[in-house]
Structure 1
Amino acid sequence: MFKGFLLSLAAGTMCLASSAYSAQAPGTPLVLLTENFPPYNMAKNGKNFAQNQNLEGIAVEVLRETFKRAGIPYSMTLRFPWERIYNLTLENPDYGVFVTARVPEREALFKWVGPIGPDDWVLLARADSPIELTSLEQAGKYRIGAYKSDVIAMSLERQGLKPVIVLRDQDNARKLQAGQIDLWATGDPAGRFLARQVGISGFKTVLRFNKAQLYLALNKEVPDEVVSNLQAALDQLRAEGIVDKIREKYLSIH
């Protein structure tokens, strides 16, 4: 039922198709799914459902400009939870999900457009915490909060750590502030942005343990020509400085 809703939504809200795209995939807009992941993608009203113009963020604006320049039709829908929209993209031939880290274990699952921006992996602690770390292994004795089905949480689990999982990453900000966890495994700048959204600041980075790049991940059935056109459009925008201007717009305000 949810899939049918998204497909009908896409048909009703798609951008105008260019003749080039129509020749590759007649009448089929791409259904782009996302979640609340500030400052890259978020609902303007802060809710867990939004469509098209009710979305904002770095990735939202970058992709709008990318699809516009490539002349490719699409719709955007923000849903919750992440695991659901990720799996929908794996299962449906005209779907994409953003933003997601392009890591080796996901490489063969999708076709990729990006990078859209960085998302370093960090461990945050309260400002008054005495914790000092030089390696991820040293964090094993602490209570680490992470986000369900997020690549950071999965990476920690693969390395033998046992993070405390929540359904919404901003809940980790509250738990860290309240002393219910010792460390928060999250992205930078996403984690600090999320914390500020719930009125919390003053966390410090005690370990930066990975550097990741965020992408639009497309179902493998999306035609190669479409992927190439989108990548070329994004590369153009970056060369013209437009991607940097969009990032500055969000990061300088917050």
Structure 2
Amino acid sequence: MPVLRLFAAALLLCEVGLAHAQNLVLLTENLAPFNHSVNGRNFAKDAGITGISSDTLRAVCARAGVECQQILRFPWARVYQQALNEPGYGLFSAARTPAREKQFKWVGPIASNDWVLMAKADSPIQLASLQEAARYRIGGYQGDAISQSLIDRGLPVQLALRDNKNLEKLGKGQIDLWVTADPSGRYLAKQEGVEDLRVVQRFHTAELYLALNLATPDELVQRLQEALDALRAEGELSRIVERY
């Protein structure tokens, strides 16, 4: 009898652990039009967050039967470390780079984004190759995979804690180029009242993912991926993109 009670208790603990594993906290940042707060603030929860990736993951979690709470925080470096270190947490919209590959478990792609160098519309800068950008002052976003990709190539990048600071510096002539993404960078610029920009160089197309802490059960990751694939096949993901 004691053995049966011990087995029942162990089973109950497993069930509680499994139930807990089905709840995820998904962290994000202001990266419109993929994920951003409705009111533009740097902290928001669930209903206060919108965008292509945000809406996609709501649909994915609902299809998979997983309770997912979305939280928008700032800065990116902070939420990245939290998702990296704490079980039950995930991060979106994250570029799946070789350096990050083994740090997370991945679901996606949930969206795509071009990596670009932008300049003011009246800038005379012309680039025949990405390496030629080393001759100019480049502004980037701290903790961002796009900025890091240039640093890894040996290009000097001045990193800012807030990406809109790069727009300010570009307008004041303190930097020549802004390394960002398109359409998200252009969207941010428009929100800041800056529209006189042009793309000088497109150097990569990044697929964006949900990055989950390594402690996330493989079964849960698979359910989320299957739900995403099903929604894509049904055309729901295209309908979400069309709303933006």
TM-score (norm 1): 0.87
Q: Report the CA distance between 1:174 and its aligned residue.
A: 2.4
Q: 1: CA distance between counterparts of 2:97 and 2:222?
A: 20
> RMSD in angstroms over aligned alpha carbons?
1.3
Compare CA radii of gyration and give the structure with the larger one: 2
C-alpha distance in structure 2 between counterparts of 1:25 and 1:194, whole Å: 40
- Per the alignment, residue 113 of structure 1 pairs with 107
Q: Unmatched 5+ residue regions in structure 2? A: 1-14
Which aligned pairs between 1:42-81 and structure 2 lie closer than 5 A? 42-81=36-75
1:102 is matched with which residue?
Answer: 96
Contact conserved, 1:24 with 1:223, CA < 8 A, in 2? Answer: no
Matches of 2:34 and 2:165 in 1, distance apart? 18
Query: Does the CA-based 8 Å contact 1:32-1:77 persist in structure 2?
Result: yes
Report 1:101-250 matches (<5 A): 101-250=95-244
* d(CA) in 2 for partners of 1:213, 1:197: 24
Structure 1 residue ranges, 4+ long, deviating more than 3 angstroms after superposition: none
Match of 2:31 among 9, 29, 37: 37
Indicate the percent of aligned positions where both proteins have the same amino acid.
52
Which has the larger strand fraction?
2
Once the two structures are TM-superposed, the CA of residue 204 in structure 1 deviates from its matched residue by 0.8
CA contact (8 A) 1:61 1:246 kept: yes
Which blocks of at least 5 consecutive residues in structure 1 are unaligned?
A: 1-21
**Counterpart secondary structure, 2:175:** coil
Cα distance change on mapping 1:81 and 1:48 into 2, 3 Å = same
Whether contact under 8 Å (1:40, 1:57) holds in the other structure is yes
TM-score, normalised with respect to structure 2: 0.91
For the 8 Å contact 1:38–1:194, the answer to whether it is kept is yes
Asked whether the 8 Å contact 1:24–1:225 carries over to 2, the reply is no
Deviations 1:172-205 (A, max 9, x none): 2222223221101001111100000111112111
